[in-house]
Amino acid sequence: MSEIHSTNNLTKKAGLYFQNNVLSSWNKTIKALKSAEIILQQAADLSLVDACAESIIAKVLHNPRLLGEPMRNVTTTDDDSENDENAYKSNVKRRLFVHDWKSEDLTLLSIALYEPIIRAMVHREVPLEYVASSLFQYLSKWVFLDTKREDDDPSTYERNSQRVIIEAVERLLPQKRGLIPSSLLSKMLQSAIILDAHTECKSGLETRIGKQLDQATVKDLLIPAQGYAKEEQYDTESVKRILKNFYSNYTSTDISGLVVVAELVDDFLAEVSSDIDLKLNTFLSLAELSQAATGGTNRNSDGMYRAIDIYLDKHRYLTDWEREEVCRVLDCSKMSPEACEHAAKNEKLPVRVTVQILFSVQLKLKDNVTKRIQRGPDNRLLKLEEDEEDAKGTSNSEEATMKAEMEKMGNKVLELEKECHMMRREIQRGSYQHKIQKEKTSMWKEMKRKIGCMTSLQETNCHVKKKKVHPR
């Protein structure tokens, strides 16, 4: 059938037909590759596979939109998965203007053909945002299970195939920060954990999430724990590794990224603190990772206080020492007035922490008095002697009033400390419980009466409002 036997033979005719009618069409080229999968070795020996791959790459280099529209790196706060999916879908308008467009695309190919073609595209410098779009489409088709299949139990063969696919796609993922949304990377990581993918695959996804953690949301970190022996609701060990990756790769001199991640961890802790199985050491290790990176900033501690309050409320069985350990990560000096007010009436907090918060409030009050004495209403120093004389009487009066208030607060704090000391002594003598039953008076109510903290408001409701409420 070759030209050696006679001219214009079948081999030449087949080659010309393949060149002019198959390779010239995007759809026909993909269909030809798909058909060749059952005789892949023979097709490769005839160079048909290489010809199809080269044709596809050339077309993509000319028009990268054949791979799909780039993904939008969106950050959502609502549970709107439909909008998330739409953000990653290719533009429908593309189909109206691309010649010979149908539904056929590279997702039809097996991973054995898809992986080398994508790798060649990256080597030939196809724009990475279009490569990432194609990778997401491939995962959506072969790995990510839609709602209709969630209840199905995939066979061992299917699970192995999906594991091979997600490991291959992870190897193909571009390293560029922010190119792939954190929500998609989180979805890939959860699938890799479920499919028991290789450690290198899961570690690679955690590293990618860590590099752009300041673009993530709490929802992206809520990775369900897997396995029969799971002790906690969420995979907190994975979150720790993601945090460490972020800190180790953060090289910017701008601390805003660190502050954003610290607030993200606070919100994450508030979400997972309601898990009754969340261990004390796990809570503390996550909190310490957050605090260590932003210790020198002016970020307030309201988020951490909220997480601690929820954790203490859901873990009432903690001992006094354990409650002290939980509160060890709280910086009382950086709490807002609203948080301090709530903490002063919070029965779940250890006495020492309550006293520390009251001292912090007293110091802030003293600092405010000093500033008001030194500065006028327009924040300028009082320079004129006439103004000093006129304001002298008023300032002295205000100073005296504020000093009286500080002394009163100081006396209350000292009285509270004395009461705490007496209680400890009574506990050591073993008579404290008997005294409580006899007096029929709550220890906390008595102390709060002495420091003027009695209120008709419900004491268990936290008044620390959050700007954003992340979905569970």
| pLDDT per residue as tens digits for the range 386-410 | 455 555 555 566 556 666 666 666 6
At 151 the pLDDT is 47
DSSP 18: I
DSSP line for 132-184 = HHHHHHHHHHHTS--TTSTT----HHHHHHHHHHHHHHHHHS---TTSS-HHH
Residue 241's CB: how many other CB atoms inside 10 A? 17
At 305 the pLDDT is 93
At 237 the pLDDT is 93
242-268 pLDDT, tens digit per residue, is 999 999 988 888 888 899 999 999 999
Q: Cβ(170)–Cβ(191) under 8 Å? A: no
Q: Which two tokens stand for residue 366?
A: 């003293």
- Per domain, the residue ranges of the chain are 258-371
Alpha-carbon span 389 to 448, nearest angstrom? 42
First to last CA, the chain: 68
88-138 pLDDT, tens digit per residue, is 444 444 443 444 444 478 999 999 999 999 999 999 999 999 999 999 999
Q: Is the pTM of this model over 0.85?
A: no
Q: Decide: residue 7, CB within 10 A, 0-12 exposed, 13-18 middle, 19+ buried.
A: exposed
- How confident is the prediction for the chain on average, in pLDDT? 78
Q: Which of 1-5, 23-27, 44-48, 413-417 has the lowest mean pLDDT?
A: 1-5
**Taking Cα atoms as reference points, which of 236, 164, 167, 253 lies closest to residue 203?**
167
As a whole number, mean pLDDT of residues 339-367 equals 84
